[in-house]
Amino acid sequence: MKRTLTLLALLAFFSLGLAQKTTLTVAVFPNLDDALKAQIPLFNKKFPDVEVKLVIQQYADHHNALTTALATGQGLPDVAAIEIGFVGRFAEGQGFEDLNKAPYNAGQYKRLFTPYTIAQATSADGRFIAMPTDIGPGTFFYRVDILQKAGVDPKSMMTWPGYIAAGRKIKSATGAFLIADAADVAWINIFATTPANNSPYFDEKGNVVVDSPRFVRAFELARNIRAAGLDARIGAWTNEWYDAFKKGTVATQFSGAWLQGHLQNWMAPETKGLWRVQQLPEGMYASWGGSFYGIPTASKNKALAWEFIRYVTTTEEAQIAAFKAIGAFPALLAAQNDPSFAEPVEFLGGQQARLLWRDAARRVKPLKANKYDRIANEILTAALSQVLDEGKDIPSALAEAKRLIERRMR
């Protein structure tokens, strides 16, 4: 009893002591919170009087809560993590501070980052609403054991026709599927062939371009893979997907470099040493995911919020800490020169994969966010499933998609 009282008194004393500190709320989703937990002690060395409070919610809940909070102007954090899928939408709204302006003057930092990330966080009217923290250079994962069994040289998969031909070989020799979902091949082609500084679906003037040849080819490649029975028809992020990686029933996967961390940590740790990576076919480079930090206009601690964001995004030590904690690929160019980048990746059979990813990240063309990107993506996904699942012909599916996107632009 006495001990409890002493404990309580001590707790009260310490919480009083803490109350003297300034509290900074940071809203974040997993596993970016693990990166922050590694960065905060470092930040506190420079700002000992700041207590950083994390508000952690699952990916979808986090962004929903953020949307609701922006709508009502209530309950907003001082710093909000924003994932790539949402940054374009939030950029078009008015809920975040424009970091180009004083007192932030973020313009001076832009050259420090992987170039395409700046465009992602910039609105059509030129406001820059969030600083990039990590990126996901697109990469080509393959199972070296399955390829060897089928006698397929990974280099032969560096063209799309070669990729499909290899898929036939793999299927007949080992029974494994070439890829989990043929739709992935369509998407990677669409993103990687987008001209610099454009949205994937719209041209500079905002016209819908989803019926152009690059979409037709992307759809044709996916259809050819499906028609040859080379894909397992498994959607991403489902139990079957994880199972396929574990059992080795799919031979390749296109994804962001971060997939390696997921495979290694929980999806298929037992496949260690069986995976390798190479660049995407036909000299394609694409970005796959990425995270940002922004300051809501309603934040009460903007100056401190900015100090925090500046610390975690522009200092090498913070970026390296995040990289070591969760394998988040740093958006900060200087951090990519860290010696640890040349270390072999055990999970990939000792490959120096990070150097390859760094090279890819530097070649990805900057894309521009369009307000209607998400709805265009939705409509195109439906069109692709009509082509793959229901045998609809490609030109009419794309023409229909174009019409549906155009009527959404109001």
Interaction between residue 361 and other proteins (CB under 8 A): no
For 49-88, the three-class secondary structure string (H helix, E strand, C coil) is: CEEEEEEECCHHHHHHHHHHHHHHCCCCCCEEEEEHHHHH
* H or E element, residue 357: helix 353-363
Angle (deg, nearest 10), helices 84-92 and 373-390: 140
Q: Which of 93, 154, 162, 349 is close enough to bind other proteins by CB under 8 A? A: 93
DSSP-derived 3-state class of residue 298: coil
Binding-site member from 233, 246, 262, 302 for other proteins (CB under 8 A): 233
Binding status of residue 146 toward other proteins by CB under 8 A: no
Which of 78, 92, 97, 134 is in the footprint of other proteins by CB under 8 A?
Answer: 92
Q: How far apart are CA 150 and CA 139, in angstroms?
A: 22
Q: Which stretch binds other proteins (CB under 8 A): 39-47, 61-69, 107-115, 307-315?
A: 61-69
Helix (H, G, I), strand (E, B) or coil at 36: helix
Is residue 79 within 8 A of residue 67, CB to CB? The reply is no
User: Which of 94, 148, 156, 337 is the binder for other proteins (CB under 8 A)?
Assistant: 94
Give the single-character DSSP code of 208.
B
| Binding to other proteins, residues 292-321 (CB under 8 A) | 297-298
- Distances from the Cα of 314 to the Cαs of 112, 123, 281, 319, 320, in angstroms? 8, 21, 32, 8, 11
Residue 95 C-beta: closest distance to other proteins, Å: 5
- Segment contacting other proteins (CB under 8 A): 91-99, 112-120, 204-212, 315-323? 91-99
Residue type, 22: T
Q: Verify binding: residue 407, other proteins, rule CB under 8 A.
A: yes
What's at 309, amino acid-wise?
I
Binding flag, residue 384, other proteins (CB under 8 A): yes
CB of 186 or CB of 277, closer to other proteins: 186
Minimum CB–partner distance for residue 40 and other proteins (Å): 27
68 binds other proteins (CB under 8 A): yes
Stretch that binds other proteins, among 7-15, 71-79, 117-125, 216-224 (CB under 8 A): 71-79
Report the residue number, 59 or 311, with the smaller CB distance to other proteins.
Answer: 59
The single residue among 130, 147, 234, 318 that binds other proteins, judged by CB under 8 A, is 234
Q: Select from 30, 151, 175, 235 the one that contacts other proteins (CB under 8 A).
A: 235
Per CB under 8 A, the list member of 213, 239, 266, 339 interacting with other proteins is 239
Q: Which residue has the tokens 């997939």?
A: 259
What is the spatial distance between Cα 120 and Cα 213, in angstroms, rounded to a whole number? 25
Query: b or e along 271-301 (b: 16 or more beta carbons within 10 Å of the residue's beta carbon)?
Result: beebbbbbbbbeebbbbbbbbbbbbbbbbeb
Distance CA 98, CA 120 (A): 14
What letter does residue 264 receive in the DSSP assignment? I
Q: Residue 358: how many CA atoms within 13 Å on its side-chain side?
A: 16
- Of the pair 51, 220, the CB lying nearest other proteins is at 220
Q: List, in sequence order, every beta strand (DSSP E) within 229-333.
A: 252-256, 275-278, 287-294, 329-330
Cβ-based nearer residue to other proteins, 151 or 235: 235
Smallest separation, CB 179 to other proteins (Å): 14
Amino acid 103 reads P
Q: Least distance from C-beta 379 to other proteins, angstroms?
A: 8
Interface segment toward other proteins; rule CB under 8 A; list 24-32, 37-45, 229-237, 358-366 = 229-237
CB of 372 to other proteins, least distance (A): 9
Contact call for residue 262 and other proteins (CB under 8 A):
no
| Of the residues 203, 270, 359, 389, which one makes contact with other proteins according to CB under 8 A | 389
CB of 345 to other proteins, least distance (A): 29
Two tokens at 389?
A: 């699942």
Contact residue for other proteins among 50, 54, 325, 382 (CB under 8 A)? 382
| 57 interacts with other proteins by CB under 8 A | no
Closest by alpha carbon to 192, among 235, 140, 227, 233?
A: 140
156 binds other proteins (CB under 8 A): no
The tokens for 59 are: 């990916």
Q: Residue numbers of the site for other proteins (CB under 8 A)?
A: 60, 64, 67-68, 70-73, 89-90, 92-95, 181, 183, 232-240, 243-244, 249, 297-298, 374-375, 378-379, 381-382, 384-386, 388-390, 404, 407, 410
